[in-house]
Amino acid sequence: MAIDIVNPYDMAIAQFDEAADRLGLSQAMRAILRKPKRELIVNFPVRMDNGDVEMFTGYRVQHNINRGPAKGGIRFSPEVSLDEVRALAMWMTWKCAVVGIPFGGAKGGVICDPHKLSRNELERLSRRYATEISILIGPDSDIPAPDMNTNPQIMAWMMDTFSMHKGFSIPAVITGKPLAIGGSEGRLEATARGVQFVTIEAMHDLRMRPEDCSVVVQGFGNVGSISARLLIELGCKVVAVSDISGGVYNVKGIDINSELLELPCEVLVPAALENQLTAKNASRIRARLIIEAANGPTTPDADHILNDRGIMIVPDILANAGGVTVSYFEWVQDLQRFFWAEHEINDRLESIMTRAYRASRVKADEQDTNLRMGSYLLAVARVAEATEIRGVYP
């Protein structure tokens, strides 16, 4: 068996290289797009509730900003690493391009276990991290958002911190904020709603009916739990869900977690983290359709196995792009100080997601490849075009 790639940055590079080969990208364009543009590492102190000071390490990486300001979430997790943030930043570049919104890709993270921090410690950590990365972020330069273990309250603290330094409120510096301070209707559900829209399209292509589909969801946070609810609304039956502490299968309450991925179902929705579908378990996956709500859940080796087995995968850069799309709407609303109704948000999101899915499908069929590569070919070509037109400075 081939060695499975587990470093997310290697995964991201392998995916890019395949798209670059198929597109026949020049040496110059490959060299530029393979590397993140900026990488900031910050080590900063936080006073803990017991009076001690602990040092934390955080990152902010911007991959490419030729199509617009950098955009990407902030993750708090003990597993955060520079390579993970680099990979997530690169995936953000492609994601924004595949849905055609005018942003480049970025990502941030802090190595910490937020479940072990008190609310006050979490607030101090969030505010200090926002201060440390404030040399990069701003409404015109780099706009963070929530990701794993960060939420609207944390976005509010970061927006407040940035605004305090400037002396006036700058809501457009960050998205995924609470409604009361310039958040958008529909943002909390946006990623899952995007998942729902692409699932409808994929089911249509596979001639599957939601009523006939059982669904397994891994990860029960923002994306996983709301995806489960919206897929039930569609008529699907959610038979198993899990989070970091365990899982439940049907009503019997069987304790499972990694085996959850191998349960018989029509639709599998990984909505937790990277490296879940690997060369080890890919041959045992029993779903017909995989919707990558998480970023990077499938390694390239697993991808080949699943493709060979005829399992359709809606790739992360397409499947979870609903989040950044409504973040874009939030940013536009904040800049214009003019807010839209929830149905306007959801209608616009639906048309963007459906169009991106269809364009990826057409590209994949044209090139006789799978949907992941269809999305990559669209996205990488758009970023390469913008990078080419702008030229290499100086």
Catalytic site positions: 107
Kindly provide the b/e burial profile for residues 67-80, where b requires at least 16 CB atoms within 10 angstroms of the residue's own CB: bbbbbbbbbbbeeb
Figure out which of the listed residues 89, 99, 143, 293 binds ligand NAD, where binding follows CB under 6 A: 293
Three-state DSSP class for 177? Answer: coil
Question: Rounded CA gap, 300 and 312, in Å?
Answer: 14
The kind and range of the H/E element at 243 are strand 237-243
Query: What Cα–Cα distance (Å) separates residue 106 from each residue in 1, 62, 234, 291?
Result: 34, 4, 33, 23
**Closest approach of Cβ 254 to ligand NAD, in Å?**
15
**Closest approach of Cβ 257 to ligand NAD, in Å?**
6
Site for ligand NAD in 126-185 (CB under 6 A): 146-149
Figure out which of the listed residues 155, 271, 287, 349 binds ligand NAD, where binding follows CB under 6 A: 271
Select 25 or 219, whichever has its Cβ closest to ligand NAD: 219
- What does R_g of the chain's alpha carbons equal in angstroms? 20
Question: Rounded CA gap, 250 and 74, in Å?
Answer: 33
Please, what sign has the CA dihedral across residues 264, 267, 268, 271? negative
Select 319 or 359, whichever has its Cβ closest to ligand NAD: 319
Which residue number is nearest to ligand NAD in terms of Cβ?
221
Select 83 or 243, whichever has its Cβ closest to ligand NAD: 243
**Closest approach of Cβ 99 to ligand NAD, in Å?**
12
**Closest approach of Cβ 232 to ligand NAD, in Å?**
17
Q: Does 273 bind ligand NAD (CB under 6 A)?
A: yes
Select 228 or 289, whichever has its Cβ closest to ligand NAD: 228
Backbone φ and ψ for 151, nearest 5 degrees, come out as -150, 180
Q: Does 109 bind ligand NAD (CB under 6 A)?
A: no
Select 320 or 370, whichever has its Cβ closest to ligand NAD: 320
Site for ligand NAD in 294-313 (CB under 6 A): 294-295
**Closest approach of Cβ 389 to ligand NAD, in Å?**
28
**Closest approach of Cβ 149 to ligand NAD, in Å?**
5
Question: How many residues lie near ligand NAD (CB under 6 A)?
Answer: 24
Figure out which of the listed residues 94, 162, 220, 340 binds ligand NAD, where binding follows CB under 6 A: 220
Site for ligand NAD in 29-68 (CB under 6 A): none
Site for ligand NAD in 310-349 (CB under 6 A): 320, 323
CB-CB contact of 82 with 61 (8 Å): yes
Kindly provide the b/e burial profile for residues 54-63, where b requires at least 16 CB atoms within 10 angstroms of the residue's own CB: eebbbbbbbb
Kindly provide the b/e burial profile for residues 359-380, where b requires at least 16 CB atoms within 10 angstroms of the residue's own CB: bbbebbeeeebbbbbbbbbbbb
Q: Does 375 bind ligand NAD (CB under 6 A)?
A: no
Please, what sign has the CA dihedral across residues 223, 227, 229, 233? positive
Select 87 or 170, whichever has its Cβ closest to ligand NAD: 87
Figure out which of the listed residues 161, 191, 278, 298 binds ligand NAD, where binding follows CB under 6 A: 191
Figure out which of the listed residues 242, 298, 299, 325 binds ligand NAD, where binding follows CB under 6 A: 242
Q: Does 272 bind ligand NAD (CB under 6 A)?
A: yes
Calculate the dihedral angle through the C-alpha atoms of 21, 361, 90, 127, rounding to the nearest 10 degrees. Answer: 180
Q: Does 357 bind ligand NAD (CB under 6 A)?
A: no
Is-cis flag, bond preceding 45, omega within 30?
no
Cβ within 8 Å of residue 45, ≥6 positions away = 53, 54, 55, 56, 128
Longest CA pairwise span in the chain (Å): 64
Select 132 or 330, whichever has its Cβ closest to ligand NAD: 330
Which two structure tokens, joined as six digits, stand for 295?
Answer: 């970023």
Q: List residues near ligand NAD by CB under 6 A.
A: 146-149, 191, 218-224, 242-244, 257, 271-273, 293-295, 320, 323
